[in-house]
Chains A and B, each alone.
Chain A
Amino acid sequence: MNVKVDKTLVASIALHVLVIGWGLITFSSRAYVAPEESLPIDIITTDQLAQITAGQKTGKKEEPKPKVEKISDAPPDEDAVGKVTTKKELIKTTSTPEPPPKPAEKPVEKKPEPPKPVAEAKPKEEPKQEPKPEEKKPDPAKEDPIAELQKKLETKKPPPKPPQPKVAAVQPQQQPKPKERTFDPAQIQRDLDKREPTRHELTGSALNASASLGSNTGTAVSNVATWRGAFQGAVKRCFTPTYNGQDADQYEADIDIPMKIDGSLAAEPIVVAVRGPSRSIAQAVAESAKRAIVQCQVYSFMPKQQYESWKLIPMTFGLKDML
C-alpha cells in the first residue's frame, strides 16, 4: 500500500515540534531570578515635611544631641564587628575628608522627592521639586530667575536621570560583601564617614516622632517667617474689633510691641498711628488691638536666639476682610 505523505505537513509538524521543544527546554531551564528586593521609600509631600519639621508651640524642648547619637550607633554595625575599638580610635581623627560612595542607607527613606516625570512635564514646577524645607515664604521675585535658569538647564538636558535617592537606594543592595577580613584603614574611614550624612538627615522626621520646638540643626531656627506667622496667629485669636461698616477697610492701627526675651510684653503696646474716617472708631480699633496683644501674652514660642529681631515688633491691625 502506498501512502502519500504531504511533505509540507511533515515539515510543519517538524517545525512545530522543534519550536515547542526548544521553548520548553529554554524556559524551563532558565533559573528563577528573584526580583530585586526593594527598599521601602516613603514619599512624603513638602507639606508633610514642613509639618514634621515645623515644631509646635506646645511641644517639649528636644535635646537633639542624645537623639543623634542613638541613631549613629545603629548603622555602623554592619560588618566590622570585630573592629569596634579601632573605629572608635579613628573617630577622633576626623581629618580624612574623603567621602564615601554614598552608602547611606536609612536616610534614603526620607527623601521627599516626587516622581520625576512630573518634573519633566511641568518645568515650571521644577523649583518646587527641590527638597525645600518647610518655608515657602521667601520673596517670589527672587525665585523667578532661579526657576527660569533651572528651566533652561532642564530643557537642555535630557530627562533627569535618577536622582540620588534612587542611586542610594540601589547601591546598598549591589554592594558586595567584603570577601575577606583584612585590615584596611581606608575602608574603616569610609565606614566612619558615612555616618555624617546620616546624622543630618535624620534630625527631622524619624527622630522627632514627638512634638518638639524643632531642631537647632535644621533651617527652621533661622526662619524669620516662622515666628512672624506664629505671632500673628496668636494675636489674631484675641483680636475682636467691633466695626464692620462699608468703610471698614479704611481703618488701621499701627502698634509697636516691646517684647521681653521670655515672650512677655516689656511694656504696654505703643499706638504709633491710627487711620480711618472716624477718629473714635479708629481709636476703638487701636484699643481692641492693644487688648488683644496684652490678653494673648505670653508668647513663649518666640525663638530666643533671634530676640534681637523681635525685640520690638511693629504691627498693623486692619479691618480689610471684616465684611
Chain B
Amino acid sequence: MTHQKTPMNRRSFLKSSTLAGGGLMISFTWLSAFKYDDKLNESDLPQWNELNGYIKITSDNLIKIINPNPEFGQNVMTSFPMIVAEELDVDWEKIVVEMGPHDSVKLGPQFTGGSNSVRMYWKPLRQAGATARRMLMQAAAQTWSVPVEEVTTEAGMLYHKKSGKSGTYGQFASTASGIPVPKEIKLKDPKEFKIVRNSKKNVEGAKIVSGQPLFGLDYKHEGMLIAMIEHPPAFGMKLKSFDASQSLKMPGIKNVFRLELYPEGFEQGGFDTRTFNDLLVVLGNTTWEVMQARKKLVVTWEPKGDTVDTMGSRNGKKAVNVPGRLESTSAQLSEMKQYADKPAQQLRKDGDPETAFKNAAQIIERTYNAPFLAHNCLEPMNFFAHVTEEKALLVGPLQAPGWTEPTLSKILNLPAEKIEIQMTRMGGGFGRRAYGHYLVEAALISRQAKAPVKLVYSREDDMTYGIYRPMYTATYRAALDADKNLLALHIRGGGIPENAIHPNRFPAGAIDNYLAEGWQIPSNITIGAFRAPRSNFNAAAEQSFLDELAEAMGKDPIELRLELLKRAKENPVGKNNEYDADRYAGVLKLVKEKSGWNSPTDKKYKRGVAAYFCHNSYVAHVADMVERDGQPYVERVFSAVDCGIVVNPDAATNMVQGAVIDGIGNALYGELTHKEGAAVQKNFSQYRIIRFHEAPKKIEVHFVQNDIDPTGLGEPPFPPVFGAVANALYKSTGKRFYDQPFITKLNELSKS
C-alpha cells in the first residue's frame, strides 16, 4: 500500500500507486471495490525509473521506497524505508512508501519472524540506498562532465558546488537507472545518521485511525465468495460424514463440500504444519450467512487414530508419527511428571555435575510448568485466493510468503511464477502467520469453487485450531556447598511435543559443573513459533530459579547474575556459549541504575528483576508491584534493552512496552487447556487477555547506546517479563510462583 507524505491530492496519489509493471499492492479491483471514483488514464501514469528493487524515482522527483517485509505491527513499513532513505539521502517527508509484492529475487527473503526483519535487511537496505545514491551521482557527473568525487547530495538534490550546478534526483533518475550497480560502496558512519535513530511516525498511521482497508480481512475482489471451514471439534478427530441439506437451504449459501488439505504422503516443509487434513467447506455470499449455515450442518466425526506426517528436511524425507489419542490437560500434566523423573537426552555437560551434587551441602530443586498458549491475533486467520488452471492470486496476512509459495506450487501444480502473493498489513502475527496452511486451504477452495474466495476463520476456529505455544516443564537443580557457593546446575526440560532447553545460554558458561537434558512427548496438538519460542518459557523458569538461588546464597539477585556473568567473561566454562557476557551485564547494570534498585525512592513497591538473551539482543526488566483491591498488580516497569542501533526509537519503545504488557498478560492469565482432545477455551470469554486496568501505569524503556548493527527487538523484551513478574509476586505474596498462569495460585491464595 502506498503512503503519500507529500502534499499531493488524491488523484496524484492514485497515479503514483498504480503504475504498470511495479508489482503493486493496490490493484484496480481493490480500488474499485472501495468505490474510488477516479478513472485512471494510462497516459497519466508516471514513468518510474527503477534504481533497484527498493527504489523508484520519477523525472519530477517523486521518490518511492518499497518495503519488502510483511508488516504485523513491528513497524517495518516505516523503519525499513528509513534505512533506505538514510543512505539514499532524501527528505523523509517527501517520499512515498509502498508494500512490495512477493519477489524474492528483487526483494530478498521477505520474512517477518524471529525478530529478523531489521537484522536481516540492515545491510541490504543500506546498500540499496547507498548504491542508488552513487548511481545518481555518477549520472549527474556524466551530464555535467565533472568528476563524480566532486558531486554531493542533500535531501534528494545533487550538487556540483564548484560550478554551481544542481539538480533533483528525478532529473538524473533515468540516466542513473542505466548505470551499472557499483560493486562496492561505502556506507555511512552511524554518527552521520540523520533519519535512522530519529523517531518517525508510522507511515500507515492515518489509514489506521480512519478505518481504511489495510488488513487481509478487509480485502475485496469482484465476485468474491466467503468460505469457512468446519474443522473437527478435537485434536485426533476427523470427518466421518456430513449432511448439508439444511445448510444448503440457507440464504446466500452456494455450496458445501469436502476437501483434502495435503494429499497422502505429501512432503511437508517445516512450516506446512498440518492440524486437520479434512476440510468441510461452507461457501456463501457473506460471512454472516456462512456462519449461520455452519450451525445447520449435521456432521459426524470419528477418531482418526495414529497418523504419519511426511516431513521434508535437508537430509531427505522423515516419517513423523502422530499419536491419535484424545488428550486432556490433567493427563498431560501427570505424564509430564513421569517423564520428568527419568534421565533424558543429554544436551550439554560441563565438569562433573554428578559428583558435585553428591558432595553438595544443600540441593535446591524446583519444577516450573507452563501451558499451551494460543496466539490470538486480533485479526483471525484469513486469506483471499483466486485460482484458475493457469495462475493463482493470493492476498492476505502472512509472515513468510517465501515458505508458503513452494507448497502452493506443489499443491496447485503451478510454477512459482504463476503464483502471485500479495501481503496485506496483519492484525497481529506473533509467529502464528508463519504457518501457511490457511493460504493452501483458500487456494484449494477457490480452485474447487472456480471463484475468487476469501477464507475466514471465526475466533473460535482460530483459537481451537492449534499451532500453539507448546506445553513446557523444566526442573532446575542447584548444588551449594556449606559456604553457599554454587557448585553445579542441572536443568532437565521437557514438553509436549518439544522441550524448551537452550543448552548453551546463560547461566551455561558461568558454572563449572553443568548438565542440561531434554525430553518430549509426541502429540497431535500442533504447535508453532510463539513470540520468542522456547525463550518465553526458559526465561520464566530460569530467571525465577536464579532469584530463589540468590536468596538461598544470601545475595542480591542482580549481583548474583553479575557475578556469574563476570565468571563467564573472564573464565568461561565450556564452548559454544551463545551470549556476550558484557552486553548481558550491561542491561542488568542499566536497569539497576534506572530503577534505583539499590536505593528505591518509593518503598511501596515489591520488586522483581529478570534478564534474558535471545535473538541476539539483551533485555532486563524490573517489575514493581503493589497491592490493589487485595490483588498484586504490576504498576510500574523499568526496561533496559540492548538491541544495537535503534532505527526508530519511539516505535521501538512502543514495541518494548507492548511486549511487557503481553508478557504480564500471558504470565498471569494465558492458558489453553484440553479436554478429550478439544480446546476448552474457544473465545475471549474463556481465554483471558490482559486488559486496560491490568496493564502497568508506566513502562520506562531505556536503550543501551552503542553502534552495534541492529539485533532483534520484537521478541527479546517478552521472555524476561515472566521472570520479573514471578519474582515480584514472591516479594508481594511471600510465595513462589512455579506454574503458569499465575492467576490460578493467586486465586487460591485470595480464597485462603
Chains A and B are bound partners? no
